[in-house]
Structure formats: C-alpha cells, structure tokens
C-alpha cells in the first residue's frame, strides 16, 4: 500500500506548502536584490560577468541537476537497480568535454550566447539564425519535459491522489496550478532578476537540493552503519530480483528472449543514449551561457572544477538514495505511488524521518525533500528561460533582424518580453500536454545538443577550414536528423508507451535515442558543407584562436 | 553605472589585427601544442574508458556481475571508476593549467594588450 497517500494528512501538506512558500519568498527576495543593478545587456545576459569560480560552479550545478536527476535517477535505481546508474555516469563524464575543450575557449571568444562563438568568423545572419534555432529547440524541448513533469511532481509531493482534494483542488487542478506557479516564478526570476538574479537563485537552490540530498543519503548510510555492501544486499533481496538487481540489463538494453533483432536494437539504443549523454552536455546552451558570467576564461574553467565536484557528489548521493529506497521503501510501495518511480526519494525521506522521530519526523523529512525537488525544477527552468530569451533577443532580434544595430537597452527590453512570451507558451503547452509521455524530450535535447551544437562549436574553435556553409549544414543536419529520427521512432508512435499511442504507427527507425546516427550525421554535414564552399577567413580564425587560448580582447567584468 | 564600453562596440581597445598577428608567433604555436598535448590524449582516453563501460554494460553482463566482495560486483566498481577518472582528470588538468598553461597564456595576452604582439 502507498505510504505517502495514507499518511499524508492536510497538516503535512500545509507543512510542505509552507516550506515551498518560504523558498519562493527567499528566491523572490534574491531576484529583486540581484536585479536592482541590471541595466545593460551585459548585466541582463551575463550577470555583469562578476561571478567567481565557486559561485558560477554552484550556479552551474543548480542549472544542471534537474528534478529528473533528483527524483528520476533515484527512482530508476530504486526500480531497476544498476541501470539507473548509467544515466548519472553519462551526465558526469560529459563534463570533461566541457572542461577540456569548451569552457575557457567559449568564454574568451563569445559574449552572450552560443551563437556569438559560432558566428565569430562566419557570415553573421545565416549562422546566428541556425544557432539560435538550435538553442531554442534544445531549450524548449528540455523546458517542456520539466514543465510537464512539474504538474505531476507537485501533486506527488503534496500527496494528492485521484479523487482527493486539498484546499479545494483535486489532482487535476493541482497539476495545472503547479505548472502555472512554476511558469510565473521562472519568468519572474528572469524578467526581474536577469542573469544576475537568476544566478543567485540558482546558487541558493543548488545549496538546498544538494545539501538536503546529502543529509538524506547520510541518514540512509547511518541506518546501514556505512556498510554499502549491506545496503546493496538489502536492496537486491527486497527487489525480488536478487543479484540481477545489481547487474546491468533490467532497464536498458534488455534482452528479449527469442527475438535477437529486438535485443540488438535495445543494446544499440543503450549505446546511442550513452553517446548523447556524454557528448550533449557540452552543447547545452543554458549551461554554456553560464560561462559568460565569469570575469575571464580562467575563472570559467575553474568554475567547471566546482561544478564537477558538486555534480559528481550529487550523483554519488543519488546512488545511495536509489538503493536506499529500493531497500527501505520497496518496489511495490514505490510503484503504487508513481509507476515511473519518481516518488522513490520522497518516500524514502518519509521512512527515514519516521525511523528517527515518528510520523512528525516523517512529515518534516518529506516536506524538506519535496522542497529540494521543487528547487531543482525552478532553478533548471529559470536557466532554460534565460537561454531562450538571450538567444531570441541577442541573436534573432538584434543580430538577424536589426543587423546588430539595436542598442543594449532595446535588446534587454526585448529579452524580458521574450522571457514572458516563451514562459507563457511553455505553460500553455505543458497544461495541454500533461497527460502525454514526454520524458523522451530530455534525451532528445541532449541528442540535438550533441549532434547540432557540439561538432560545430568544436570545428569553429579548432578547424581552420570550417566556414559558414559548414556551420549552417552541421547545425541543421544535426537538428533535423535528431528530431526526424525521433518522429519515426517507437518513442513517437506504434507502441503503448508512445507519444501518439498504439493507434498511429509511422515508426521505422528502431531506436528511441537518435544519437548513434544523428551525431555522425551532424558531423558529416558540417564537414561536407565546409568542403563544398570556398569561403575562408584565415585572419578571423587566427584572431579567434588567439582570443580563445589567451583571453586577449575578451570583455571583463563590468564595474558598478 | 558600468564602465564597459558600449554594449555593441568592441570589447577592449585592441585591434583584431593585433590579436590575429599573435597566431603565427612561435610562442603561440608552442602554447597550442602544450595545451593539445595534454587535452587531446586525456579526453580521448577518458571517453574511451566511458565507452568501454557502456559496451560492457550492454554486452558483457556476466562479466559485470562478477562479485568482488560482499554484494559489490565488477559493474559497480567500474561504474564508480568513472567518477574517479572524472575527478582525477579534473584535478590533473587544474594542476597542468596552474603549472604551465596559465603562465604562458597570460604572457602572450599581456604582450598583445601592450601592443607587443607583432
């Protein structure tokens, strides 16, 4: 039976809601403080470039560790054991690409957006348009995945089941309220706080979510006397899977008895996912633009050290939380609450709290972890909104339509309206799409980032011959192939769990994750496009590389 | 108020030509060589190790299931090794930049900004 719903009394919900409110008030206060000095374009897009390495490192962690990481990975581990671990490893190792190849060079050669670095030595308008479309696609896919999840998550965290009401809301109404409130907050952070306010909000939220995950993981370990082997043993025996629970194969790359072709596709799908995860991070615009908030390339690079430490520690904690939930809550109780396993960490927190201080302890721990999950949602969606609004204002409005002639002030005003517009659209789509299975959008965002952004970004930094045609072909090639392949994959149609359900079947591409095909395709398009054009600007390449590696001529922090 | 120049203007007072001129300076060629000699092999090795791990998870499940002690199997240890590798590379790159790269790169930057880049 479900622990959460049974014991979730109205007073517990009020405790959770109160903690949500405290966090909301704190973040709004931070936003207003941070936003007071936001006047120029540099302030709005890049927070005045005054953030230190640890500050940006925490903000990057806030930007990156989503509710999908917080609840999703713990849940996948709780239900499928070992396989849940694969996601966290891909998400972490990916940071080496960002650290070794991208962070410092990008900070030194761009100003506000990914398109700045990409179009540095190219024809501005075609490259900016393409790069902006890629940025918007990636960010909006990721945003929709978060927003649709938000509705379900808020009802889950408040423990409102079908047929129950709380403050006059049934589960359906609570979902819509959850989406709308999240939408209002993310737009408020960005429109009023700009990058500076958003960064401080993300730093605060990173502390909340990583700190609480740390506390919960320590309590699990204390329960097992820090004996990891005993924890794993319990998890395996409670799961009913025995040793198989601690081995790969329950979730990804499953072997279908008697169907060797499907087994082959499943395994290739796993490899495809692994590739997109490890190559996608260094192409995610909302993460990349954070590097511009530091005073110089060296600080941007050092902020990645902080981010890797925080994110790595966080994923180690999810391992403990996931196996802890498997052992102490149990698969049946988790599935009864949420079939996808997202409730595993909150349920675990309740059990742990009850062990310590009875039902009050359970309610307090649950409310704390629910707030941490809410912080994870808010900080990620705010980062996505600022990536969208910066790209719309700086790349499309100013770069493409105004030929770079708009003033900084006009750009900021446009960016604020863009934030409101994108936020409103995301809320409306999320409300209508809340019953669809959109979890695949996260993997799709990573696939587009790995196929369209990363190859072109690396070529523009390191390949002298690379030119406009190559950049445009690479971006569109990677973008269209990843989206196209997903449309014709089983994620989109043809099976029970597809977006369109079983009724429609246009699936001919056997993998759910397009990366294995779309990453090489994006790369080939970029190379072929380059070789088919004779355009070349050796001087611009020379100055870009010197800037990238020495930081000469880069904009420093603005002094207020 | 801000002291950055105009929002759409050039970031600092150094011409593109001055910056580009540094590209053929032997010291810059050496800087790039130093950097790539570290980053390229290290990154390729780390990504290869990750790929090996993913492939083993897909195709060598009995191998990953070998129990080392208690309930700790090889799959878990290899998974944790990815964390160790990531942390180690981060630490090593930080040491490399502090010992070699940052000093060389700052020297060239100062040269360019003082007009000595030619």
Q: What percent of chain A has pLDDT over 90?
A: 55
> What's the pLDDT at B111?
87
Distances (CA, A) of B116 to B33, B107, B108, B110, B112: 22, 11, 9, 8, 5
Question: A507 to chain B, minimum CA–CA distance in Å?
Answer: 24
Whether residues B112 and A550 touch (CB distance < 8 A) is answered with: yes
Residue bearing the bigger pLDDT, A52 or B7 = A52
Concatenated DSSP letters for A459-513? HHHH-TT--HHHHHHHHHHHHHHHHHHHHTSTTTSSSTTSSS-SS--------S-
Residue bearing the bigger pLDDT, A172 or A137 = A137
Whether residues A230 and B70 touch (CB distance < 8 A) is answered with: yes
> Is the pLDDT assigned to residue A446 strictly greater than 50?
yes
Best mutation target among A50, A96, A105, A277 (most B Cβ atoms within 10 Å) is: A96
> What's the pLDDT at A70?
81
- What is the C-alpha to C-alpha distance for residues A490 and A507, in angstroms, rounded to an integer? 6
Tokens at residue B55, please? 């492939």
Cβ neighbourhood burial of A163 (10 Å; 0-12, 13-18, 19+):
exposed
Residue bearing the bigger pLDDT, A387 or A342 = A387
> Is the pLDDT assigned to residue A47 strictly greater than 50?
yes
Instruction: Work out the number of other CB atoms within 10 angstroms of the CB of residue A52.
Output: 15
> What's the pLDDT at B117?
41
> Is the pLDDT assigned to residue A447 strictly greater than 90?
yes
Tokens at residue A499, please? 């977006």
Among B11, B53, B87, select the one facing A555 at the smallest CB separation: B11
B88 touches A: beta carbon within 8 Å: no
Mean predicted confidence (pLDDT) in A418-437: 89
Q: Where are the beta strands (DSSP E) in B1-118?
A: 67-69, 72-73
Residue bearing the bigger pLDDT, A556 or A484 = A484
Task: State pLDDT tens for residues A101-155.
Answer: 999 999 998 889 999 999 999 999 999 999 999 999 999 999 998 888 788 778 7
Tokens at residue A109, please? 């050669």
Question: A155 to chain B, minimum CA–CA distance in Å?
Answer: 34
Residue bearing the bigger pLDDT, A236 or A166 = A236
Among B55, B71, B94, select the one facing A232 at the smallest CB separation: B71
> What's the pLDDT at A541?
92
Task: State pLDDT tens for residues A59-90.
Answer: 999 999 988 788 888 999 999 999 888 889 99
- At B2, the pLDDT band (50, 70, 90 cuts) reads very low
B105 touches A: beta carbon within 8 Å: yes
> Is the pLDDT assigned to residue A420 strictly greater than 60?
yes
Is the Cα dihedral A110, A302, A280, A101 positive or negative?
positive
Report the complex ipTM.
0.91
Mean predicted confidence (pLDDT) in A368-373: 88
Please count the residue pairs, one from chain A and one from chain B, whose beta carbons lie less than 8 angstroms apart. 204
Best mutation target among A95, A100, A104, A241 (most B Cβ atoms within 10 Å) is: A100
Mean predicted confidence (pLDDT) in A397-404: 88
- At A206, the pLDDT band (50, 70, 90 cuts) reads very high
Q: Where are the alpha helices (H) located in A224-296, listed in sequence order? A: 228-239, 260-280, 285-288
> Is the pLDDT assigned to residue A479 strictly greater than 90?
yes
Residue bearing the bigger pLDDT, A257 or A311 = A311
On whether the pTM is more than 0.90, the answer is yes
List CB contacts of A50: < 8 A, sequence separation 6 or more: A293, A295, A557, A558
> Is the pLDDT assigned to residue B3 strictly greater than 50?
no
- What is the C-alpha to C-alpha distance for residues B99 and A242, in angstroms, rounded to an integer? 50
Residue bearing the bigger pLDDT, A559 or A151 = A151
> Is the pLDDT assigned to residue A55 strictly greater than 50?
yes
- What is the C-alpha to C-alpha distance for residues A414 and A437, in angstroms, rounded to an integer? 33
- At A8, the pLDDT band (50, 70, 90 cuts) reads low
Whether residues B67 and A243 touch (CB distance < 8 A) is answered with: yes
Among A230, A249, A298, select the one facing B102 at the smallest CB separation: A298
Residue bearing the bigger pLDDT, B117 or A501 = A501
- At A559, the pLDDT band (50, 70, 90 cuts) reads low
Residue bearing the bigger pLDDT, A321 or A47 = A321
Whether residues A40 and B2 touch (CB distance < 8 A) is answered with: yes
Whether residues B71 and A229 touch (CB distance < 8 A) is answered with: yes
- Based on its alpha-carbon atoms, the radius of gyration of chain A, rounded to whole angstroms, reads 23
> Is the pLDDT assigned to residue B10 strictly greater than 70?
no
Task: State pLDDT tens for residues B33-63.
Answer: 999 999 999 999 999 999 999 999 999 988 9
Flag the least confident range among A122-126, A165-169, A174-178. Answer: A165-169
C-alpha angle A311/A313/A319, rounded to 5°?
105
Are A486 and A478 spatial neighbours (Cβ–Cβ below 8 Å)? no
Mean pLDDT estimate for chain A: 89
Q: What percent of chain A has pLDDT over 70?
A: 98
B16 touches A: beta carbon within 8 Å: yes
> Is the pLDDT assigned to residue A7 strictly greater than 60?
no
> Is the pLDDT assigned to residue A361 strictly greater than 60?
yes
């Amino acid at each position: 039976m479900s622990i959460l719903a049974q014991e979730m009394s109205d007073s517990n919900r009020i405790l959770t809601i109160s903690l949500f409110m405290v966090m909301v008030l704190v973040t709004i206060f931070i936003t207003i403080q941070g936003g007071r000095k936001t006047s120029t374009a540099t302030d709005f897009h890049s927070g005045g470039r005054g953030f230190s390495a640890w500050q940006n490192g925490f903000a990057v962690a806030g930007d990156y560790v989503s509710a999908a990481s917080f609840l999703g990975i713990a849940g996948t581990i709780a239900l499928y054991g070992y396989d849940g671990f694969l996601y966290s490893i891909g998400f972490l190792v990916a940071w080496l690409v960002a650290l070794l190849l991208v962070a410092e060079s990008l900070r030194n050669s761009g100003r506000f957006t990914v398109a700045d670095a990409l179009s540095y030595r190219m024809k501005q308008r075609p490259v900016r348009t393409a790069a902006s479309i890629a940025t918007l696609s990636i960010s909006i896919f990721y945003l929709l995945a978060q927003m649709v999840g938000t509705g379900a998550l808020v009802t889950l965290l408040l423990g409102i089941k079908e047929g129950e009401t709380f403050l006059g809301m049934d589960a359906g109404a609570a979902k819509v309220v959850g989406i709308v409130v999240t939408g209002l907050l993310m737009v408020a952070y960005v429109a009023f706080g700009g990058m500076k306010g958003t960064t401080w909000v993300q730093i605060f939220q990173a502390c909340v979510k990583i700190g609480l995950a740390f506390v919960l993981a320590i309590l699990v370990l204390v329960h097992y006397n820090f004996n990891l082997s005993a924890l794993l043993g319990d998890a395996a025996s409670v799961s009913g899977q025995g040793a198989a629970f601690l081995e790969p194969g329950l979730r990804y790359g499953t072997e279908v008895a008697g169907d060797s072709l499907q087994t082959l596709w499943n395994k290739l799908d796993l490899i495809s996912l692994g590739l997109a995860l490890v190559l996608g991070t260094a192409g995610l615009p909302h993460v990349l633009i954070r590097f511009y908030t530091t005073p110089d390339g060296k600080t941007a690079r050092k902020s990645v050290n902080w981010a890797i430490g925080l994110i790595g520690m966080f994923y180690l904690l999810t391992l403990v939380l996931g196996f802890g939930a498997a052992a102490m809550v149990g698969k049946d109780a988790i599935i009864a609450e949420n079939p996808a396993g997202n409730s595993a960490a909150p349920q675990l927190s309740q059990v742990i709290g009850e062990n310590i201080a009875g039902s009050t302890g359970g309610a307090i721990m649950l409310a704390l972890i629910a707030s941490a999950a809410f912080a994870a949602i808010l900080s990620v969606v705010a980062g996505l909104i600022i990536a969208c609004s910066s790209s719309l204002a700086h790349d499309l409005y100013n770069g493409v339509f105004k030929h770079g002639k708009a003033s900084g002030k006009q750009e900021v005003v446009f960016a604020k309206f863009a934030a409101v517009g994108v936020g409103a659209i995301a809320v409306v789509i999320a409300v209508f799409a809340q019953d669809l299975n959109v979890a695949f959008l996260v993997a799709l965002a990573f696939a587009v980032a790995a196929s369209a952004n990363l190859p072109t970004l690396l070529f523009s930094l390191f390949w002298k011959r690379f030119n406009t045609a190559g950049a445009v072909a690479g971006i569109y090639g990677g973008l269209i192939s990843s989206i196209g392949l997903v449309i014709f994959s089983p994620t989109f149609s043809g099976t029970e769990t597809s977006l369109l359900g079983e009724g429609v079947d246009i699936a001919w591409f056997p993998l759910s994750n397009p990366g294995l095909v779309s990453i090489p395709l994006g790369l080939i398009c970029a190379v072929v496009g380059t070789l088919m054009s004779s355009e070349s600007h050796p001087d611009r390449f020379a100055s870009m590389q010197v800037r990238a590696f020495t930081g000469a001529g880069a904009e420093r922090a603005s002094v207020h | 108020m801000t002291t950055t120049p105009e929002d759409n203007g050039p970031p600092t007072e150094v011409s593109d030509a001055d910056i580009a001129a540094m590209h053929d300076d032997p010291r810059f060629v050496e800087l790039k060589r130093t950097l790539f000699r570290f980053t390229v092999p290290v990154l390729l090795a780390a990504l290869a190790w990750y790929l090996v791990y993913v492939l083993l998870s897909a195709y060598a499940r009995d191998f990953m299931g070998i129990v080392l002690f208690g309930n700790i199997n090889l799959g878990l240890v290899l998974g944790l090794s990815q964390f160790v590798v990531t942390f180690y590379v981060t630490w090593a790159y930080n040491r490399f930049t502090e010992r070699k790269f940052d000093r060389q790169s700052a020297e060239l930057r100062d040269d360019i900004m003082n007009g000595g880049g030619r």
